[in-house]
């Protein structure tokens, strides 16, 4: 009797559990697809499937794969319910894999999806997500090049007035009147730095004026290569002004490559020679304040210019005029009128207009609930 | 204008440091939002996570960055987070290695299991990019010359995918490089602790979420020590710092007052 | 040979590096990695060259007996001791670490700390509210300085650190952004000019 | 001999030597300054050999020579390029140095263009617009809206200041005036933060002198 009851109980439990499984419908994952992951180097395949119906009894998924007719193998760990994609990055390139998504219930019952068609991981030559970036790059390059060429073909390009530059003549004039020297530092940067190049171009223009006025121009250098280029530039400037006799090579000299020793050297010069005008143009680091403060204390007119953001506050506070960031690049274009510099300056301005437009348009669109500008700028990873 | 000898100002500065230090003043420190975010992010990492710490500073910035690096390492070792130390700056490895060992000894962390220091490789950007595909392609050995394959904790770590957070302690443009190359290109989460000089330029990245948290100079260090509950040098120095700042503010004000008096007289 | 080849090399390397960043192909990625490691190898040579230049400069100073020429021997002493110990005993050697910790590190830190004195002196002598812009800079600087230390909060009833945070988060942020956008355009435009061979000043003068 | 103690004394001597320049230039300072130059260059060389040249050039190349992996021979290319740097030492062959410089500069420019465009231009523009999505969704407070508008105004005005191809007259002049005000606030913040850094260094040195060297504070 007890045995029969036991059997009945077991049967009942079995029926019930099978029933629940059926009634809750431990349905196989549907719409399973496996595709080569786009925009990668062919090292992964992406598997996607539809989300399980809520209350379907599914507690997780296991991804299985097989090569041709080989054995099924499990890939990765158990995925929690709610997952609908998996990227299998452990594949061999050139081998085709077929995938099955296995759904698991809490009672450890399992049900498999249909097997996908075999897919291979493929190398892609171009990342389609980076198209906006690519187009922007091409547009901007075209803008720069076009402007340079139009400047070279003789078109007048306008550059706005830059406050510090008017002081250049004033400073040189004052030095001439007082019969004192002018000190010009090209900063600590190497010859390939944007700021150093700009500084050397400005120096060339300053040298033309000092050649006319016969004012002594002293240039302490920190980089031996910069030293050579500067000598060449100043010499050319004096030649072109017809004053090669006034050029003195020893006025342009190397101090040392060490940062603080350079600063100490220039500081010493300031204190001894008391120059009437000091130009600090180029890349500067922590020594900027030592230079600017000492220059201030000897009463020189100081015109500074740098794109080293951290040093700008010190220059602004301690110097009479300061060229801020891009103004330094613009100043070199303004003074030298070189088509290449003028052209790219205008190209950069076009870039700014593009940014303006993007911001204004983006704000207006965002406010009206459309966010495709933000989407376009979204990072691609 | 009374142009006093600048050496008088120098003496005042020295006194403003020495006196409060001898008196050991203690002022309360509140916690700013970027610091809190940094702390919360690390706190939320489960035990067994991995943080990569880039010690991108030389001796000239150790006063500001050593205290915060120490506080972070203490927090990591306490909550079983593994640490991979590296550096992009040539004069950092000796300093960074000593620092990690000091904290590890204090917290009983084991080299090779709880932490590893990989040392320096030249060419900052190239190092960052290289580790995106394979750390071993840049660091084939750790700082002591042990092959990377023989280090237990590096067994399951190939690239940024296995690193939960990258912390850059920086005194120059390295944070930007990490953001431009590791975050944008490899989607690595980044937090930074930086010197006072470069704090202001970090905020754009904080707002865009390219940085998950930020410690600012000695103040950030003091705040973090406060959060971790291990007051040390940061807390002590920020108090001394207070008095020097007061002195400088006072000098600016006095300087401007004399300037205006002088100018009015001239007119 | 002297101008064309460098321009071609610059163009080829530039274009290759751009292309590989738009291409996820495994060959592109391999090229990228390889070229990156080349840059790592080339770097140290430049450093050695810089050292040779340093040695030349100081040898010249000693030979010409310029002012303070005796100190050039100190430079050599430091250089030689560091290099000998480092090369033969490796950088992890305690002796090398001792030299670093007790000679290089304190001097480096002290050099930069000198600036605290200069800042104070400049604060008194140079930072004047001469114009509206200068005043704005000064006032912001004072607020941030006070917000950076606990005493600021104590004196201002917690407003200093809040004000500092707001300034850094808002007006400072938009100014930085403006600068970043502008300077980045400058950097990109310079890079384009370099790759296309329009900007050649890095080749120096001459033919 | 207690090397630790000697170390502290050496460090203290060098620290004080450097501070002595605050009084005026003197032999102690000059000694320390020159020693600093020599030592730091030496340190740089040792590190770049052990952490750069050996793992990246020597090891792969050695593996190629011993027949382990032939790919290492490819490292001969960068080694040769690097050796070209030394052409500068010979006046007649100085021009050869343009080769490695051209490669490094081209490499740097190529890596920079897409990355700078993405991180500094795309991301920063997006960051400026992003808060407006929250305004549209109504999740931003009144103060937050003010900040978002202030941000756009600040960015546009600052950029206008750096606009060089039009004369700054009329509305442009006013925009750029506002821009310069934003810039000054930015520089003021940078200044305040820089002060914090430099002073922290000084405090650390004084802490070393009083604490580690003189043992005044326990």
Query: B47-103 pLDDT, tens per residue?
Result: 999 999 999 998 888 889 999 999 999 999 999 999 999 999 877 888 899 999 999
Degrees, nearest 5: CA angle A342-A344-A348: 120
Residue C144 has pLDDT above 90, yes or no: yes
Where are any strands of DSSP class E within A211-339?
Answer: 217-221, 252-254, 277-283, 301-306, 321-324
Distance CA B222, CA B234 (A): 4
Query: How much is the mean pLDDT over chain D?
Result: 87
Which of the four pLDDT bands, split at 50, 70 and 90, describes residue B1? very low
pLDDT at C157: 83
Scanning D91-150 for CB atoms below 8 A from A yields 101, 105, 113-114, 117-118, 121-123, 125-126, 128-130, 132-133, 135-136
Q: A224: which chain C residues are within 8 Å (Cβ-Cβ)?
A: 53
Q: How many CB atoms lie within 10 A of CB A211?
A: 22
| Residue A323: CA count within 13 A, CB half-sphere | 29
Of C169, D2, C199, the closest CA to residue A193 belongs to C199
Higher pLDDT, A75 or B170: B170
Task: Out of A123, A232, A329, name the one closest to residue C186 (CB).
Answer: A329
Q: Are A341 and A201 in contact (CB under 8 A)?
A: yes
Q: What is the least distance, in Å, from the CA of B3 to any CA of chain A? A: 9
Q: Which of A131-135, C162-166, D83-87 has the lowest mean pLDDT?
A: D83-87
Q: What is the least distance, in Å, from the CA of D75 to any CA of chain C? A: 7
Which of the four pLDDT bands, split at 50, 70 and 90, describes residue A19? very low
Which of the four pLDDT bands, split at 50, 70 and 90, describes residue D104? confident
Distance CA B253, CA D98 (A): 53
Give CATH for domain A157-337: 3.40.50
Contact D187 A355 (CB under 8 A): no
pLDDT at A11: 60
Residue B143 has pLDDT above 60, yes or no: yes
**For B159-167, what is the mean pLDDT?**
92
The model's pTM: 0.82
Contact D59 B140 (CB under 8 A): yes
A253: phi then psi, degrees, rounded to nearest 5: -140, 165
Which of the four pLDDT bands, split at 50, 70 and 90, describes residue A8? low
Q: Are C130 and B263 in contact (CB under 8 A)?
A: no
Q: DSSP assignment of B110-143, as one string?
A: PBTTTEEEEEE-S-HHHHHHHHHH-HHHH-SB-T
D106 strand-pairing partners = none
**Residue D137 CB partners (closer than 8 Å, separation 6+):** none
Residue listed under structure tokens 């690595």 = B188
**Residue A87 CB partners (closer than 8 Å, separation 6+):** A37, A44, A45, A46, A47
Q: Which of A185-194, B210-219, C106-115 has the highest mean pLDDT?
A: B210-219
pLDDT at D45: 84
Contact D185 C172 (CB under 8 A): yes
pLDDT at A296: 86
Distance CA C52, CA C47 (A): 9
Higher pLDDT, A94 or A275: A275
Of B144, B178, B141, B207, the closest CA to residue B52 belongs to B178
Q: Are A275 and A181 in contact (CB under 8 A)?
A: yes
Can you give the residue ranges of every domain in chain A? Answer: 28-125, 128-147+344-377, 157-337
Element of type H or E holding A67: strand A58-67
**For B15-37, what is the mean pLDDT?**
89
Q: How many CB atoms lie within 10 A of CB A375?
A: 10
Q: Are B183 and B163 in contact (CB under 8 A)?
A: no
pLDDT at B112: 92
Residue B33 has pLDDT above 50, yes or no: yes
What's the order of all strands across the beta sheet hosting A33-36? A33-36, A45-48, A85-88
B166: phi then psi, degrees, rounded to nearest 5: -110, 130
Q: What is the least distance, in Å, from the CA of B43 to any CA of chain C? A: 23
Which of the four pLDDT bands, split at 50, 70 and 90, describes residue A280? very high
Higher pLDDT, B115 or A368: B115
**For A199-213, what is the mean pLDDT?**
91
pLDDT at A381: 44
Q: C118: which chain A residues are within 8 Å (Cβ-Cβ)?
A: 289-290, 293
Can you give the residue ranges of every domain in chain D? Answer: 131-218
Residue D25 has pLDDT above 70, yes or no: yes
User: CB of C196 within 8 Å of any CB in chain A?
Assistant: yes
pLDDT at A302: 94
Residue D199 has pLDDT above 90, yes or no: yes
Burial A328-366 (b: 16+ CB within 10 A, else e): bbbbbbbbbeebbbbbbbbbbbbbbebbbebbeebbebb
**For B107-115, what is the mean pLDDT?**
93
Q: Are C199 and A193 in contact (CB under 8 A)?
A: no
pLDDT tens for residues D174-194? 999 999 999 999 999 988 888
Contact B184 A379 (CB under 8 A): yes
pLDDT tens for residues A36-66? 888 777 778 888 888 777 767 778 888 888 8
Which of the four pLDDT bands, split at 50, 70 and 90, describes residue A14? low
Query: How much is the mean pLDDT over chain A?
Result: 84
Which of the four pLDDT bands, split at 50, 70 and 90, describes residue A276? very high
Give the right CATH number for A28-125 from 2.60.40.10, 2.30.130.10, 2.60.120.560, 3.40.50.1820. Answer: 2.60.40.10
Residue A172 has pLDDT above 90, yes or no: yes
pLDDT at C3: 81
pLDDT at D151: 92
Q: Are A237 and A192 in contact (CB under 8 A)?
A: no
pLDDT at A9: 65
Contact C44 B59 (CB under 8 A): no
Q: What is the least distance, in Å, from the CA of C65 to any CA of chain D? A: 16
Per this entry, what is the length of chain D? 218
**For D58-72, what is the mean pLDDT?**
81
Residue A83 has pLDDT above 90, yes or no: no
pLDDT at B34: 92
Of B178, C176, A329, the closest CA to residue D190 belongs to C176
Q: How many CB atoms lie within 10 A of CB C63?
A: 10
| Residue D108: CA count within 13 A, CB half-sphere | 19
**For D110-136, what is the mean pLDDT?**
86
Q: Are A218 and A254 in contact (CB under 8 A)?
A: no
- The DSSP secondary-structure symbol of A256 reads -
Q: B139: which chain D residues are within 8 Å (Cβ-Cβ)?
A: 55
Scanning C96-125 for CB atoms below 8 A from A yields 111-112, 115, 118-119, 121-122, 125
Distance CA C82, CA B94 (A): 14
Element of type H or E holding A111: strand A110-112
Which of the four pLDDT bands, split at 50, 70 and 90, describes residue B124? confident
Residue B184 has pLDDT above 90, yes or no: no
Q: Are C152 and B245 in contact (CB under 8 A)?
A: yes
Q: Which of A345-349, B220-224, D59-63 has the lowest mean pLDDT?
A: D59-63
Q: D49: which chain B residues are within 8 Å (Cβ-Cβ)?
A: none
Cα dihedral across residues C50, C55, C61, C67: positive or negative: positive
Q: Which of A368-372, B54-58, C107-111, C181-185 has the lowest mean pLDDT?
A: A368-372
**For D103-114, what is the mean pLDDT?**
86
pLDDT at B250: 94
Residue listed under structure tokens 């840059």 = C39
Can you give the residue ranges of every domain in chain B? Answer: 1-27+239-267, 31-231
Task: Out of C110, C117, C174, name the one closest to residue D155 (CB).
Answer: C174
Which of the four pLDDT bands, split at 50, 70 and 90, describes residue A23? very low
The answer regarding whether domain B31-231 maps to CATH 3.40.50.300 reads no
Residue A220 has pLDDT above 90, yes or no: yes
Q: Which residue of A has its CA nearest to D156?
A: A356
pLDDT at C57: 80
Residue A290 has pLDDT above 50, yes or no: yes
- First and final CA of chain A: distance in angstroms? 70
Q: Are B250 and C142 in contact (CB under 8 A)?
A: no
pLDDT at C99: 92
Scanning A153-182 for CB atoms below 8 A from D yields 157-161
| Alpha-carbon distances of B211 from A245, B167, D166, D206, rounded to whole Å | 58, 10, 36, 33
pLDDT at A80: 77
| Alpha-carbon distances of A132 from A128, A377, D122, D199, rounded to whole Å | 9, 8, 10, 46
Contact C123 B255 (CB under 8 A): yes
User: CB of C2 within 8 Å of any CB in chain D?
Assistant: yes
What's the order of all strands across the beta sheet hosting A110-112? A73-80, A58-67, A97-105, A110-112
pLDDT at C204: 60
pLDDT at D75: 82
Tokens of B127: 């190092």
pLDDT at A368: 86
């Amino acid at each position: 009797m007890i045995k029969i009851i036991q059997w009945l109980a077991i049967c009942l439990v079995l029926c019930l559990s099978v029933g629940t499984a059926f009634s809750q419908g431990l349905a196989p994952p549907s719409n399973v697809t496996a595709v080569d992951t786009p925009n990668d180097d062919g090292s992964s395949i992406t598997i996607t499937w539809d989300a399980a119906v809520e209350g379907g009894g599914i507690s997780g998924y296991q991804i299985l794969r097989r090569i041709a007719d080989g054995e099924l193998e499990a890939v990765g760990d158990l995925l929690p319910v709610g997952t609908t994609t998996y990227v299998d990055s452990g594949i061999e390139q050139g081998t085709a894999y077929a995938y099955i998504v296995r759904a698991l219930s809490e009672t450890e019952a399992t049900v498999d999806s249909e097997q996908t068609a075999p897919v291979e991981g493929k190398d892609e030559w171009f990342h389609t997500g980076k198209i906006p970036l690519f187009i922007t790059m091409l547009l901007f390059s075209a803008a720069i090049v076009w402007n340079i060429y139009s400047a070279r073909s003789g078109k007048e390009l306008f550059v706005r007035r830059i406050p510090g530059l008017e002081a250049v003549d004033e400073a040189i004039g004052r030095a001439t009147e007082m019969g004192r020297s002018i000190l010009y530092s090209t900063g600590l940067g190497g010859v390939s730095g944007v700021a150093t190049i700009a500084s050397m171009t400005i120096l060339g223009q300053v040298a033309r004026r000092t050649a006319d006025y016969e004012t002594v121009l002293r240039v302490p250098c920190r980089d031996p290569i910069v030293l050579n280029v500067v000598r060449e530039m100043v010499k050319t400037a004096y030649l072109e002004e017809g004053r090669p006799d006034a050029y003195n090579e020893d006025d342009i000299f190397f101090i040392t490559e060490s940062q603080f020793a350079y600063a100490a050297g220039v500081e010493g010069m300031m204190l001894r020679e008391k120059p009437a005008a000091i130009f600090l143009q180029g890349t500067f680091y922590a020594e900027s304040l030592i230079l600017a403060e000492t220059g201030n204390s000897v009463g020189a007119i100081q015109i500074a210019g740098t794109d080293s953001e951290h040093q700008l506050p010190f220059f602004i506070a301690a110097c009479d005029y300061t060229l801020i960031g891009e103004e330094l690049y613009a100043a070199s274009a303004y003074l030298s009128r070189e088509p290449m510099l003028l052209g790219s300056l205008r190209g950069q301005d076009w870039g700014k207009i593009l940014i303006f437009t993007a911001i204004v348009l983006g704000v207006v669109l965002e406010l009206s609930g459309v966010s495709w500008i933000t989407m376009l700028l979204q990072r691609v990873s | 204008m009374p142009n006093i000898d600048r050496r008088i100002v120098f003496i005042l500065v020295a006194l403003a440091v020495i006196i409060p230090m001898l008196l050991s003043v203690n002022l309360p420190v509140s916690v700013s939002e970027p610091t809190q975010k940094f702390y919360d992010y690390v706190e939320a990492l489960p035990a067994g996570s991995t943080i990569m710490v880039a010690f991108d500073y030389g001796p000239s910035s150790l006063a500001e960055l050593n205290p915060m690096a120490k506080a972070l390492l203490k927090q990591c070792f306490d909550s079983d987070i593994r640490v991979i130390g590296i550096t992009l700056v040539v004069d950092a490895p000796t300093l960074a290695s000593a620092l990690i060992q000091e904290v590890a000894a204090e917290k009983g962390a084991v080299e090779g299991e709880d932490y590893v220091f990989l040392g320096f490789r030249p060419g900052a950007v190239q190092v960052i990019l290289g580790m995106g595909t394979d750390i071993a392609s840049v660091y084939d050995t750790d700082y002591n010359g042990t092959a990377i394959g023989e280090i237990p904790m590096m067994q399951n770590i190939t690239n940024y995918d296995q690193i939960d957070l990258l912390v850059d302690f920086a005194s120059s443009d390295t944070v930007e490089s990490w953001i431009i190359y590791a975050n944008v290109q490899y989607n690595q989460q980044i937090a930074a602790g930086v010197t006072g000089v470069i704090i202001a330029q970090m905020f754009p990245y904080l707002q865009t979420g390219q940085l998950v948290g930020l410690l600012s100079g000695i103040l950030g260090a003091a705040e973090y020590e406060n959060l971790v509950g291990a007051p040390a040098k940061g807390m002590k120095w920020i108090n001394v710092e207070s008095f020097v700042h007061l002195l400088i503010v006072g000098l600016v004000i006095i300087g401007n007052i004399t300037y205006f008096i002088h100018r009015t007289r001239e007119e | 040979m002297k101008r064309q080849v460098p321009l071609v090399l610059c163009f080829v390397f530039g274009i290759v590096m751009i292309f590989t960043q738009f291409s996820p192909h495994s060959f592109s990625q391999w090229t990228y990695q390889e070229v990156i490691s080349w840059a790592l190898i080339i770097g140290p040579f430049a450093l050695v060259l810089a050292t040779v230049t340093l040695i030349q400069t100081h040898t010249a100073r000693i030979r010409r007996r310029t002012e303070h020429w005796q100190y050039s021997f100190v430079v050599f002493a430091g250089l030689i001791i560091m290099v000998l110990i480092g090369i033969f005993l490796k950088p992890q050697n305690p002796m090398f670490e001792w030299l670093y910790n007790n000679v290089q590190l304190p001097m480096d830190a002290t050099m930069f700390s000198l600036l605290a004195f200069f800042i104070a002196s400049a604060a008194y002598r140079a930072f004047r509210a001469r114009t509206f812009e200068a005043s704005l800079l000064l006032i912001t600087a004072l607020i941030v300085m006070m917000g950076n230390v606990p005493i600021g909060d104590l004196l201002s009833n917690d407003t200093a650190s809040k004000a500092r945070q707001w300034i850094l988060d808002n007006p400072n942020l938009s100014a930085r952004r403006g600068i970043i956008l502008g300077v980045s355009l400058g950097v990109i435009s310079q890079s384009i000019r370099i790759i296309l061979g329009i900007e050649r000043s890095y080749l120096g003068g001459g033919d | 001999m207690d090397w630790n103690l000697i170390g502290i004394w050496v460090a203290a001597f060098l620290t004080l030597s450097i501070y002595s320049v605050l009084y005026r230039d003197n032999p102690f300072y000059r000694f320390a300054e020159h020693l600093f130059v020599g030592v730091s260059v030496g340190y740089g060389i040792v590190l770049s050999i052990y952490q750069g040249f050996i793992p990246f050039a020597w090891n792969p190349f050695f593996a190629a020579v011993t027949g382990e992996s032939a790919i290492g021979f490819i490292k001969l290319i960068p080694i040769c390029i690097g050796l070209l740097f030394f052409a500068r030492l010979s006046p007649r062959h100085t021009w050869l140095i343009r080769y490695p410089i051209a490669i490094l500069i081209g490499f740097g420019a190529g890596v920079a263009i897409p990355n700078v465009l993405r991180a500094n231009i795309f991301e920063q523009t997006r960051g400026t617009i992003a808060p407006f999505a929250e305004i549209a969704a109504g999740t931003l407070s009144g103060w937050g809206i003010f900040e978002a508008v202030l941000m756009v105004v600040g960015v546009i005005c600052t950029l206008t200041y750096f606009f060089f191809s039009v004369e700054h007259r009329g509305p442009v002049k006013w925009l750029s005036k506002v821009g310069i005000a934003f810039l000054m606030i930015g520089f003021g913040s940078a200044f305040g933060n820089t002060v914090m850094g430099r002073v922290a260094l000084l405090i650390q040195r004084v802490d070393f002198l009083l604490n580690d060297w003189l043992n005044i504070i326990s």
